[in-house]
Structure 1
Amino acid sequence: MSAEVPTPQPEKPPARSRVVRSNRRQVLLFAALTVILTVATVWGGRIWLRNSETLIFAVGDGNGVEARFAARLAAVLNNTNSRLRLKIVPSGDSTKALAEFDRRQADLAVLRTDTKVPPRARALAILEHDVLLLISPGSKKIKSLADLKKRKIAVLADGDNSAAFVRNLLEISDSSDAASRVQMAPPDSTLDKLFASGGYGAVIAIAHASTIVKDKRFEQYAKRGGFTLNAIDESKALARRNPGISEETLATGVLSSSPALPDDDLDTIGLQWLLVTQSRMSSTTAGDLARTIYENKAELALEDGFASRIEPADTDKDAFVVAHPGAAEYINDETKSFMDRYSDLLYLGAAALSVIGSIFAGIYTKVTRIAPEKASELATAILDIGERMEHATSQDALDALQDELEAILRGAVIGLRDGTISSDGLDTFKLGYEFVRDEIAMRRESLKRRAGHDDNVVIVKTAQSA
């Protein structure tokens, strides 16, 4: 009958090795958790800093250019995942919309520079230019504004305030016949109808610069040769006298290419459509809104051309409507460095990393880490060897004790190297080791003498008697 060979059991790793591996795993775990929580904190802080904000946009007619532009802007903000949202509030007409803005019931509004500008309005962008076209019947030219004042004028424009603008421009007093001399043209009027009646000596058309380029009616009028487009030579003087007025130039052929209308660059005047916000709006919000507008111009343009050439607001301090500081900061410094753009997140990340790292270091040190054994605690095992030396009556027993003592010393050296044993009480350990080592040597000599002289052997003191 064959004897079964016992299967050797796998040796268990020393306790000290298990401690080292456990501590290393904990260090890696805490390091990973520190990074994960830091990233989560920074991301949460970014979301908190970029929390959603709803802005009220006051517009006039619900179907007018202001309302349609506001709707486009709201869609762009939503599509670009901006933190900003718009609430569009129709007010009936532009005057009422600006009144709500002036009463701080709205954050955004659109105004034309011939209107009364609310004192707290700050510009974000120039949405559109309106140009003034001075037209006379047939080949009759208008030589000056003084000549224009003598004529009955029809104003082709959207909104009744355009007639008031022309009266102020020509400095026509509010006399009884002022309204009859400068009248708004009837709806759906054309140049042919206005001049055919014989009652008007001039027509002033105020239209969006982006719209008249697409209007084919001027080309049809030019082919019939039924009117003359006049320059306003006093445009510079008018712009200096009226800050809301801008100098404009109509390029050759901009209204009609064949025949060319005008046949040469023509000086005239114009007005600007501004997107304005409250001066109290934060620079961050204004900057975010300005960046969205300037980076998405194509999506903001309306079908008829309005807002198809959005321009930066005038950042000069003497501008007619001062630019909002947040918009001015973006306009003047579009290319920010990485540090400028993300410095807040980096500072937040560094602070979060410091705090979270300190917390985990404290947890690791005080709670979860397997603390290293103090060197002084090993002295107890050494003294125990000294006590057992009393019962050692042979050289073999002393050799076993000697091996055990050396094993403790070897373990202490390894433990000090890998961190499982601290240096606390190292002097006590050293003193105990040297004491027991010397006693083993003395006991060994004593046994040798006893083996040779049994009657004269003097037993040395053991660690226990010591």
Structure 2
Amino acid sequence: MFVMLAGILAVIGALAGAYYFAVRPVTLRVAVGPANSDDLKVVQALTQAFNQARGYVRLRPVQTDGAAASAKALEDGGADLAIIRGDLDVPKNAQAVATLRKNVAVLWVPPSAKGKGKKSGPKITKIPQLAGRRIGVVGRTPANVNLLKVILQQYGVDPAKVEIVQFPAGEAADAIRNQKADAYLAAGPVNSKITADAINASTRDGGTPTFLAIDSAEAIAQNHPMYEASEIPAGAFGGSPARPDDEIKTISFSHHIVARKGLSESTVAAFTRQLFAIRQQLMTEFPLAAKIETPDTDKDAVIPAHPGAAAFVDGEEKTFLDRYSDYIWWGLMALSAMGSAGAWFAGYLKKDERSNNSSLRERLLDLIAAARRSDSTEELDRMQAEADDILRDTLHCFDDGAIQEGALTAFSIVLEQFHRAVADRKTLLDNMPQNPQRAGAQFRAAGTL
């Protein structure tokens, strides 16, 4: 019984422990950067919202120097999630969870300065005319330079024949006002304040910037799957007249939320579910959250979707019972097996006790026959004392579980027959005439002879 009880408690404890570990909050480290970037602001807002919602998943931002450093942190195991650029090298252990936002490439040429006695070259209206010119790139990340080189190569412009200079995002507007370059490239969301400020800084002497369309966007997307053909809508950057004054073709790339390949499917599914539930709450206070989209779940996606995120998107997310039904079933089977094994073991341990009790019952049957032949009340009293000892041992066996209630009932019938046989024999002996030998024995016992 103790073995069975211990086994049952062990299985129940294992199931309770499994349930606790399955539902306890999980904190995921998110690699994101650089400081003061839109990506970091979004992650900080999500972290606060997750904590307030007290959901299954919590976030802990790990600030990095940029998307490349975030990807490295994920690859090295320093983070569970990371915000990366789709046009950079994606870690082999990264799987997409969501698309945080899409960035578009914007190429423009400031209007020529007037009344300053400066000679300006031919007006730039097409990308091939950038050969031999100086191009400013907004932002310090090398990824923006690589993006410019991809565009130039598509139009047959050797990047080596172009002078490229980078400006920190905070210094871009001043550099543009000081005419540090002939043309500029910025990459960011269509509603990016950094891009809009840089374009507004290009407006001088009543002139407006000239936007360079990337008409070969589809060809670039074919050759470089991390890019997509896109458009910048008219008036996207405000101003009067509207900038741009017409829709412009360009290329875009995405910032992704990716997870480690080995991260639990149920954990990623829970994170994805919370992410899109929280997104609706943050849209009014944090408009950038509106840009969050579900990942591409196609098998040929550039970044394969994590199975947990794909299950949420496709409506195939598993419930607690779906995930752990096999474990529960096997636990019940183990409990049943342990119960059977415990019952067998307990029965084996009490085998000798049952055998002894059977012999006692046979002895009681023999006493019934002996009582019916007895010629002495003293002998009957000794039989009665032995029967009492047999009764005591039988009750102990019943208390220990060595015999069942049916065996105890059979024993009580035999005991009743023994008492009846003793009572009948004593009555008969009391009514019989005493023979000389019997009378002499009784007198000697009384001390009269």
CA distance in 2, matches of 1:352, 1:76: 42
Corresponding residue to 2:56 among 74, 82, 88 = 82
TM-score using structure 1 length = 0.59
Aligned to 2:149: 167
CA distance in 2, matches of 1:344, 1:141: 71
CA distance in 2, matches of 1:141, 1:50: 64
Unaligned runs of 5+ in 1: 1-25, 392-418, 455-466
Give the deviation of 1:235 after TM superposition.
Answer: 1.4
Aligned to 2:384: none
Q: Aligned to 2:291, what secondary structure does the other structure show?
A: coil
Give the deviation of 1:318 after TM superposition.
Answer: 3.0
Aligned to 1:346: 328
Corresponding residue to 2:185 among 204, 208, 213 = 204
Cα 1:375–1:253 change in 2 (3 A) is farther
Q: Which amino acid aligns with 2:158?
A: S
Q: Which amino acid aligns with 1:236?
A: E
Give the deviation of 1:126 after TM superposition.
Answer: 1.5
Give the deviation of 1:170 after TM superposition.
Answer: 1.0
Aligned to 2:95: 122
Cα 1:237–1:141 change in 2 (3 A) is farther
Aligned to 1:9: none
Indicate conservation of the 8 Å contact 1:112/1:271, yes or no.
yes
Corresponding residue to 1:42 among 7, 12, 15 = 15
Matches within 5 A, 1:317-328: 317-328=299-310
Give the deviation of 1:273 after TM superposition.
Answer: 0.8
Give the deviation of 1:270 after TM superposition.
Answer: 0.9
Aligned to 2:106: 133
CA distance in 1, matches of 2:413, 2:170: 110
Give the deviation of 1:343 after TM superposition.
Answer: 1.9
In the alignment, is residue 331 of structure 1 matched against residue 313 of structure 2? yes
Corresponding residue to 1:311 among 267, 283, 293 = 293
CA distance in 1, matches of 2:339, 2:291: 52
Give the deviation of 1:243 after TM superposition.
Answer: 1.8
CA distance in 1, matches of 2:274, 2:321: 21
Aligned to 1:267: 249
Aligned to 1:109: 82
CA distance in 1, matches of 2:300, 2:359: 81
Aligned to 1:422: 406
Give the deviation of 1:441 after TM superposition.
Answer: 11
Aligned to 1:399: none
CA distance in 1, matches of 2:209, 2:408: 106
CA distance in 2, matches of 1:277, 1:354: 40
Q: Aligned to 2:158, what secondary structure does the other structure show?
A: coil
Indicate conservation of the 8 Å contact 1:376/1:424, yes or no.
no
Q: Aligned to 1:155, what secondary structure does the other structure show?
A: strand
Cα 1:214–1:292 change in 2 (3 A) is farther
Give the deviation of 1:62 after TM superposition.
Answer: 3.8
Q: Aligned to 1:44, what secondary structure does the other structure show?
A: helix
Give the deviation of 1:240 after TM superposition.
Answer: 0.9
In the alignment, is residue 296 of structure 1 matched against residue 269 of structure 2? no
Percent identity over paired residues: 25
Aligned to 1:238: 220
Cα 1:64–1:303 change in 2 (3 A) is farther
Cα 1:433–1:258 change in 2 (3 A) is farther
In the alignment, is residue 276 of structure 1 matched against residue 249 of structure 2? no
Give the deviation of 1:130 after TM superposition.
Answer: 0.7
- Give a deviation string over 1:431-457, Cα, whole Å, max 9, x none: 99899999999999x9xxx9xxx9xxx
Corresponding residue to 1:145 among 101, 109, 127 = 127
Indicate conservation of the 8 Å contact 2:173/2:198, yes or no.
no
Q: Which amino acid aligns with 1:173?
A: D
CA distance in 2, matches of 1:333, 1:43: 28
Residue correspondences, number: 396
Indicate conservation of the 8 Å contact 1:131/1:207, yes or no.
yes
Q: Which amino acid aligns with 2:256?
A: L
Give the deviation of 1:237 after TM superposition.
Answer: 0.9
Corresponding residue to 2:231 among 241, 249, 263 = 249
Indicate conservation of the 8 Å contact 2:28/2:57, yes or no.
no
Cα 1:250–1:388 change in 2 (3 A) is farther
Cα 1:429–1:53 change in 2 (3 A) is closer
- CA-atom RMSD, angstroms? 5.9
CA distance in 1, matches of 2:239, 2:338: 70
Give the deviation of 1:49 after TM superposition.
Answer: 5.1
In the alignment, is residue 178 of structure 1 matched against residue 152 of structure 2? no
